[in-house]
Amino acid sequence: MRNALRACARPEPWRRGPVLTALALLLGLVLLLHATITDHAGLGSLVENVLPWLGLFVPLLLGVACLRRSLAAVTALLLPAVVWTALFGGLLHDKSHPGGDLTVATHNVGAANPDPTATAHTLAASGAGLLALEELTPRAVPLYERTLAPTYPYHAVLGTVGLWSKLPLSATHPIDVMNHGPLAAAKPAAAKLPENRALHTTVTTPDGPLAVYVAHLGSVRLMPRTGFWTASRDIGAAALTKAVTADPTPRVLLLADLNGTWDDRAFAGLSARLDSAQRTAGTGFGFTWPAAFPMARIDQILYRGMEADRSWTLPGTGSDHLPIAATLTW
């Protein structure tokens, strides 16, 4: 112990590794001030979508700092370690509890899914009372309708999204999430997707009406000239925020493939009005994409006027996304 104190008192360990120290401080500042990073070329959005993974640099830098015997770098690493823990530490423990009035599930079934029928059987076995599907194709819709009919007597499909329900549906209509605002003109030709990618419907429950939104926002992509392109996705996020804000229904549910994580600044408006089932009642990060090696949770179950009791990820299907489910209480 005495030798360790003497070593710390020497100036050499504090002078070693200035680059490591700077990197540790930079990592901490990125985690702490990510919301202030410019979104030019989508930089801010890109950083926020990989934000949890930045924590991997803490043990990496710590190992190098120990090899270099740099007390300055080890001390500097306290900043990113504390900030990361404050941001994401709460996700690591199990927040689920028993109870629940309604189980819901959502899944981007994948346009290239080789076996929609098997996917439908897997989803029906989840026990969900409401089942939202995104990225439906005209060829696959009849297969899902036929396979899910015995479990879900009610359903609504508009464009590439649909909702299957054990409870009656009414007042179903599309939500335009593709052509709102001046950013619509900025979409590259290759990114122009079908407009019917979101719907609203009312579910009649024994405890009153439940407003349900099903949405699949526009894709994001890295482009040579524009960087991390998010314009289409951001248009949809703004449209959903507007719809949810104007909805007078006390209980609101959004089942969606947002094509972005909940930390992304594009969803600040939604996060101010809706809660995330994964954040309030899940275990771990609940990554959903890509299914082979999930690295981001871009599929979400969001709610208002209810409480989440449990949130979890379902087994993979033939899609490149994992399905997710949650149990909610009125």
Spatial CA neighbour of 128 closest among 329, 327, 300: 327
* Within a domain: 181: yes
Backbone CA torsion sign across 180, 246, 195, 123: positive
Residue-by-residue pLDDT tens, the chain, 330 positions: 555 445 445 557 677 889 999 999 999 999 999 999 999 999 999 999 999 999 999 999 999 999 999 999 999 999 999 999 999 999 999 999 998 999 999 999 999 999 999 999 999 999 999 999 999 999 999 999 999 999 999 999 999 999 999 999 999 999 999 864 444 444 444 344 445 899 999 999 999 999 999 999 999 998 877 799 999 999 999 999 999 999 999 999 999 999 999 999 999 999 999 999 999 999 999 999 999 999 999 999 999 999 999 999 999 999 999 999 999 999
Same domain, yes or no, for 150 and 273? yes
Could you list the residue range(s) of the whole structural domain that residue 158 is in? 102-329
Cα distance between residue 273 and residue 244, in whole Å: 8
Note the helical H segments in the chain: 2-9, 12-15, 18-32, 43-49, 57-68, 71-76, 78-88, 116-124, 141-148, 231-246, 268-271, 277-281
DSSP 3-state assignment of 18? helix
The pLDDT of residue 222: 85
Question: If you ran DSSP here, which 8-state letter would residue 69 be given?
Answer: T
Q: Is the same domain home to 310 and 284?
A: yes
Amino acid 52 reads P
201: Cα within 13 Å, side-chain hemisphere: 26
Same domain, 80 and 143: no
As beta bridge partners, residue 256 has 215, 300
d(CA 51, CA 88): 9
Which residues 6+ apart lie within 8 Å of 150 measured at CB? none
Among residues 89, 124, 149, the one where a domain terminates is 89
Residues 298 and 249 in one domain: yes
Read off φ and ψ for residue 271, nearest 5 degrees.
-70, -20
Q: Assign residue 304 the CATH number of its domain.
A: 3.60.10.10
Residues 284 and 245 placed together within one structural domain of the fold: yes
> Distance (Å, rounded) from C-alpha 123 to C-alpha 232?
29
Q: Same domain, yes or no, for 81 and 112?
A: no
- pLDDT score, position 71: 95
Would strands 324-329 and 307-313 be described as parallel, antiparallel, or unpaired?
Answer: antiparallel
So what's the pLDDT on residue 192? 42
pTM: 0.90
Whether residues 114 and 60 fall in one domain:
no
Per-residue DSSP letter, 19: H
Give pLDDT, residue 15.
Answer: 77
